[in-house]
């Protein structure tokens, strides 16, 4: 259960003036412009981190808006190459029009993935709420079928359907499946998802086990110690770890700018000391870098839909020395 203090921090923050929310969010959002995001990545590159970049903004009201995201991500890919950064991109399918015009939205996504393939760059399709879970998975399957294998999806541990989705993806893609697994930011209805913290963690850990057993690439996106500890135990059980070539007999192909079958992923500004400890131990760690003009909407949504972030906000405010980004 989320602590009362975290809930209080969230309730207070979302009612504060925009300037205050900006002050809080600057720790978790790389800025409004691509140049600001690049500056953050250059700074963190010195620590050995790698990145996935997200242009803020998701569900749109017209297909014209989708053009902005397509063009902006093209700029992102060019900047990554020009600066020689260890980074890939993460997109919201709804920002490309998937809920407005599924055919055109899919064309937009395909165009971007094709361009990324030419740059030997990976594209992650973020998982949004349950309205687009199936459509997002279907998009990945369709692209792989077309030979565009530089794309993977996100699955959310909290959803009841996740283990079945892993089995289905394994059947279609084999060990070529590439996941980001997280607990899930969206507070879904209790008839389709777990709502208790312990149940969500247990379900997420079960998904991690299923992915490792399938030979898939697994990006563990969590700041929760029980999930991190479980992942480390699972790696040991499979004989996997830093500097070890993936020993699983059913392991997927080696992936450019990826770890030996797995990596840890964390949000910018959250649990920096833990990320650096994992990096020091030799694990590949990826930082999620969001930027864009929609920083305010992104910040408020994350606070409202995941009140546990309130504890991180409070800690950063009261004890900044304990959690450098």
Kind of pairing between the strands at 123-125 and 50-55: unpaired
Q: Kindly name the residue from 27, 180, 255, 275 that is annotated as catalytic.
A: 180
SS3 236: helix
Q: Is 126 a catalytic residue?
A: yes
**Counting beta carbons within 10 angstroms of the beta carbon of residue 220, is it exposed (0 to 12), middle (13 to 18) or buried (19 or more)?**
buried
Compute CA distances 191 → 160, 161, 167, 187, 251, whole Å.
9, 11, 21, 12, 34
Which of 272, 246, 273 lies closest to 263 in space, CA to CA? 246
| CB-based contact 26:263 (threshold 8 Å) | no
In whole angstroms, give the CA distance from residue 287 to residue 41.
9
Q: Distance between CA atoms of 22 and 19, rounded to whole angstroms? A: 5
Q: Residue 278: enclosing H or E segment and its boundaries?
A: helix 272-280
The neighbour count for residue 310, using CB atoms within 10 Å, is 22
Which residue, among 244, 319, 287, 315, has the nearest Cα to 46 in the 3D structure? 287
Among residues 83, 7, 63, the alpha carbon closest in space to that of 289 is found at: 83
Q: Which of 126, 165, 209, 246 is catalytic?
A: 126
CA dihedral 36, 310, 229, 168 (to 10 degrees): -80
DSSP 110-164: HHHHHHHHHTT--EEE---SGGGHHHHHHHHHHHHHTT--SEEEEEETTBTTHHH
Question: So which residues are the catalytic ones?
Answer: 126, 180
């Amino acid at each position: 259960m989320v602590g009362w203090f975290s809930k209080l921090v969230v309730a207070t923050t979302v009612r504060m003036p925009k300037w205050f929310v900006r002050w809080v969010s600057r720790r978790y959002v790389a800025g409004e412009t691509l140049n600001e995001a690049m500056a953050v990545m250059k700074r963190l590159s010195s620590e050995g981190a790698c990145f996935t970049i997200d242009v803020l903004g998701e569900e749109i009201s017209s297909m014209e808006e989708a053009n902005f995201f397509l063009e902006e991500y093209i700029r992102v890919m060019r900047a990554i190459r020009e600066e020689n950064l260890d980074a890939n991109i993460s997109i919201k399918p709804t920002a490309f029009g998937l809920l407005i015009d599924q055919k055109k939205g899919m064309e937009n996504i395909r165009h971007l993935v094709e361009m990324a393939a030419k740059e030997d760059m990976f594209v992650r399709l973020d998982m949004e709420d349950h309205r687009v879970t199936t459509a997002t998975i279907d998009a990945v399957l369709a692209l792989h079928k077309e030979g565009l294998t530089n794309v993977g999806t996100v699955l959310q541990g909290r959803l009841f359907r996740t283990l079945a989705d892993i089995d289905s993806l394994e059947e279609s893609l084999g060990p070529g499946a590439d996941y980001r697994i997280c607990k899930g930011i969206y507070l879904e209805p209790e008839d389709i998802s777990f709502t208790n913290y312990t149940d969500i963690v247990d379900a997420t850990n079960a998904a991690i086990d299923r992915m490792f057993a399938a030979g898939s690439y697994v990006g563990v996106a969590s700041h929760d110690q029980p999930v991190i500890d479980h992942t480390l135990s699972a790696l040991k059980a499979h004989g996997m770890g830093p500097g070890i070539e993936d020993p699983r007999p059913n392991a997927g192909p080696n992936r450019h700018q990826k770890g030996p079958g797995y990596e840890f992923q964390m949000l910018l500004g959250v649990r920096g000391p833990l990320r650096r400890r994992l990096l020091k131990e030799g694990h590949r760690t990826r930082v999620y870098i969001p930027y864009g003009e929609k920083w305010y909407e992104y910040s408020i949504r994350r606070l409202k839909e995941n009140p546990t972030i309130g504890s991180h906000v409070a800690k950063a405010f009261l004890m900044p020395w304990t959690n450098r980004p």
